[in-house]
Structure 1
Amino acid sequence: MVTIPSGSFFLPQYIASKIASNTISEDEVSYAIKHGVEDAIEYKFSSVEDESNEWFYLAKILAETDKETAFKLATIYHIEGDNKQAIYWYKNASKLNHKKASAELIDLYIDEGELLAAKALLFPLKHEEDALYKLIDISVSLGDLTLLNELILLIKKSNSNELVKELQRYRIVDTNLFNRPHSEVLNVNECSNTVQLFATSLSHLNKLDTLLQNIKDHPLSSFICFEPPRYISVKQLDCKYNKGSAIKCDDSIWSHVTPEINTRYIGLMLDKGGANVDNGILYLDASDNTQVFIHELSHLLGFIDEYPLPVKHKVCQKPQQSSFSHNISIMKPHYKGSKEEVLDLLEKQVPWFSLIDAATPILIKGEDKWIIGTPESYKLNNENVIGLFKSETCDKNKVQAFKPTSTKTSLRYYEESFIPLYTSLLIQRPDQYLMPSFHYNVAKALFKKNKENLGLKWLNKALSRELEQAANSDHSPNKSSINRYNKMKRGEY
């Protein structure tokens, strides 16, 4: 038995003296810890193994009043990815005036998308340059133009030239505020496949700039060009997106964007959701890399996925009536008739037919039919052989998709390359399989909302694009633009 004074005044005094004289027992330490004696907690804490269960138990007691322990706890949880606990202990350390904890808490709030919480912490610090930049980024992301206009006054007083340039370049603010002209608008006639990329935050706009820089030397850059990325407020958008599903937005909103977009295509980067192309609109997730960007750009230019598409995807419902992409033809697995008749059909349906060597097998004789396709084994003799190889595109359907190569490409896996053969196919028919302009997306969205007059206006804009492209094309006569014109009039996209 150990006799310990239990009064609130005597117990801490007693424990302190025992620790000082190095005569305290384990029972006395345990008893004192149960009664919240801080000296006993610190004494025990100094001897336990770091990050053991007992360490965490004691650390959480100490962290209520000790800012360094609170910060250490928060850091550990942050590294482990337990952001809920990290936020709790960063907040506690911040209340105890741990300056670094406040900075870490702000950044964690931003990472977690808790922008209003970050904004509340940053606002009192708005006269500090780093805090001002983050606060501006948050106001841009939230579409809080009232706050942004207030912060602009502080920008003008500071020497934040780079920040000013960004706000101008991305058209986030009225460029007249800084007496500098915004970038020139691209001439549609100089580059027909123009793209205007949008994002809702400074960080995402910066990411778009990085992506554009990364593809400068890619073969696709010869066929498509970009205006500087441009800001759009999240409040202007109406989008549905989740981590595992494709981004989809109400396309009618683009009819209200000013100044009006002067490009054929538009792209939008959001903070999450699956990248995809819907006719003339490209969607990106902020975490997407250069390879994903290239993959989606290739869709605008007329390439189709070589991985399995959803079972109800429109391109896999029936054999194609005419060729519709550079790299994929959708046909029946077999056809009846003479060999010459089937070859004549393939010549009309397969864009790369003229590149297939006469010695390369593309038909196998069955009992009463011709089976379409080049055997996979044939590639063993020549890795670069061009033929009719099965693609996984329509694996979930009765029709069969064929591609010109057995090589895995960027249309199957993002990490693979955009092969030279596909560049050659694009050079041969640069305009043949382009997606319609984004104006067609807007028209369809407006028709769905029963806004027929406005829908017709935007459909005519899309049709005019095709007529202009046909008139300015180097490929005369340009049938591809006229084909798109007719398909759009029939609503077939």
Structure 2
Amino acid sequence: MAVVLLFLVTFLFFNSPVNDPVSQFDNQTEIKPTPSISIALDLWRQKQYHSSLAMLEELNQPQSEAGFYEFYFKTFVNGTINQTFSQQAALPSSCSQQLLFVAGSVNSLTQAEKLKQKLINDQRLQSLPICAYELIWFNPETVQCTNNQTTHQRISCDLPLLAQHVKSLQFTHLVIFAKDGKANVHNGIMYLDQQDTYDVFVHELAHFAGFVDEYPLSAELAKQVCQQGRAPNLRFSKPNDSTNLSPARTCDNHPNQAYKNSKRLTFMEYHDVAYIPEQYLTAWRNSLLDQHNSPSAHVNFAQFYEEHNNVTESQYWRAKYKMYLTQ
């Protein structure tokens, strides 16, 4: 009798539909996630580009935040980014600096758009001949950047990869948004990371015009900078008429003394102060009138190819730079 009961229990257990994995699978219905911007952005970060774009299209909100991402994601997925750029209006010829914002990630794309809008609305800078293209150049596969261990965590990016993709575009200077690293300007390229604020951007923007930091430079850098006669915001020798000049800390690590035309802290010493004296704006504007004071990004590409003995590409970018100097 015990054997019969054990057989019945075993039979019922293995034939119960509750414990049948096949029956369980058949009874389950795949739950499709409700479309949302956050899910779409997560899919994009996971490089599920087509799924992300499809979800944004399903939201069908062209004038909203979803529409913003949909536009840029579509130009990348469809490979039409340069074609789209060629269709936007040209910047005025009076713009000495024509900024192209470059981003490779969702976070950087959002950051670039916010900073661009703040630049457009910044009344302090309205008198400067600086313009930014309306569109951001967005390409996750091309914008490859790292924080360089040999240059004090300064951001650096894969220039030849980028150069080949932006060849056909009209710009003078690039603003590249990377994930992390120390913000810096090298000739005509500005590098920012995702933590950098608009005030940092404006500080670095002044470097495009030759402005020098007013905090103490390292001994190595001070040796290069403090030997020169002057910068748009500084003098490195005290003139006879110096009533409006105040000592700057730029050359604290050098025998020379630097002087600034402001008794207050300025945005070149502490970027979060955000104070730009009127004299600085005048000097900034005058500096931009001479292109030699503001090397363009073309020279960055030319120098890279020269260092790697690529004559064809170096000559191409040198020619672009010479054209920029004669504008």
Q: TM-score scaled to structure 1, two decimals?
A: 0.52
- Is 206-215 or 158-167 further displaced after alignment? 158-167
Say whether 1:327 aligns with 2:233: yes
SS of 1:418's equivalent?
coil
Residue 174 of structure 2 aligns to a residue in which SS?
strand
Q: How many residue pairs get matched?
A: 286
Aligned twin of 1:486: none
Please point out which of 40, 60, 68 is paired with 1:159.
60
- Pairing 1:148–2:49 present: yes
Task: String of CA shifts for 1:9-32, please: whole Å, max 9, x gaps.
Answer: xxxxxxxxxxxxxxxxxxxxxxxx
CA contact (8 A) 1:409 1:419 kept: yes
Q: 1:437 is matched with which residue?
A: 296
Q: Distance in 2 between matches of 1:201 and 1:395?
A: 39
Query: Cα distance, 1:291 vs. partner?
Result: 1.2
Give the partner amino acid of 2:281: T
Quote the residue 2:218 is aligned against: 310
Which whole-Å deviations, capped at 9, do the CAs of 1:379-419 have from their partners, x for residues lacking one?
xxxxxx523x3322122123332222232101001122112
Q: CA deviation at 1:125?
A: 6.0
The alpha-carbon deviation at position 132 of structure 1 amounts to: 3.6
**Could you give the per-residue CA deviations for residues 302-357 of structure 1, whole angstroms, max 9, x where no partner exists?**
3111111222227636622x54x3112335x8xxxxxxxxxxxx5xxxxxxxxxxx
CA contact (8 A) 2:206 2:284 kept: no
Pair 418,315 (structure 1): closer, same or farther in 2 beyond 3 Å: farther
Assess if the C-alpha contact under 8 Å between 2:96 and 2:289 holds in 1.
Answer: no
Decide which of 231, 236, 248 is 2:138's aligned counterpart: 231
RMSD, aligned α-carbons: 3.2
Give 5+ residue unaligned stretches, structure 2: 1-30
The answer on 1:280 being equivalent to 2:139 is no
- Report whether the alignment pairs 1:214 with 2:118: yes
Distance 1:393 1:431 in 2: 25
Q: Map of 1:34-53 to 2, 5 A cutoff?
A: none
Alignment of 1:79-478 (within 5 A): 128-130=35-37, 132-139=39-46, 144=47, 147-161=48-62, 162=64, 163-169=66-72, 171-174=75-78, 184-187=88-91, 189-215=93-119, 216-223=121-128, 224-227=130-133, 228-233=135-140, 236-241=143-148, 245-258=153-166, 260-313=168-221, 316=224, 319-320=227-228, 323=230, 325-331=231-237, 362=241, 386-387=244-245, 389-416=246-273, 417-432=275-290, 434-468=293-327
What corresponds to 1:487 in structure 2? none
Q: What letter corresponds to residue 270 of structure 1 in structure 2?
A: A
**Per-residue Cα deviation, 1:192-230 (whole angstroms, up to 9, x for no partner):** 311011122223212222222223123224321111322
Determine the structure 1 residue equivalent to 2:26. Answer: none
Sort the Cα spacing of 1:449 and 1:391 in 2 relative to 1 into closer, same or farther, 3 A.
same
Q: In 2, distance between residues paired with 1:153 and 1:166?
A: 12
Q: Residue 253 of structure 1: CA displacement? A: 3.0
Whether the 8 Å CA contact 2:147–2:182 is kept in 1: the answer is: no
C-alpha distance in 2 between matches for 1:386 and 1:175: 55
> Are the aligned partners of 2:104 and 2:140 in contact in 1 as well (CA < 8 Å)?
yes
Q: Contact (CA 8 Å) 2:53, 2:70: kept in 1 or not?
A: no
Q: What amino acid is the match of 1:408?
A: L
- Please state how far the C-alpha of 1:296 moved relative to its aligned partner: 0.9
> Do 1:199 and 1:205's aligned partners in 2 also have CA atoms closer than 8 Å?
yes
Kindly state the Cα deviation for residue 451 of structure 1 after the two structures are TM-superposed: 1.3
Report % sequence identity.
21
* Greater relative contact order structure (CA < 8 Å, 6+ sep): 2
Aligned equivalents of 1:392 and 1:303: distance in 2? 14
The normalised TM-score by structure 2 is: 0.75
Kindly indicate whether the alpha-carbon contact (under 8 Å) linking 2:244 and 2:262 is maintained by their aligned counterparts in 1: yes
Secondary structure at the aligned position of 1:195 is classed as strand
* TM-aligned CA distance change 1:315 to 1:125, over 3 Å: farther
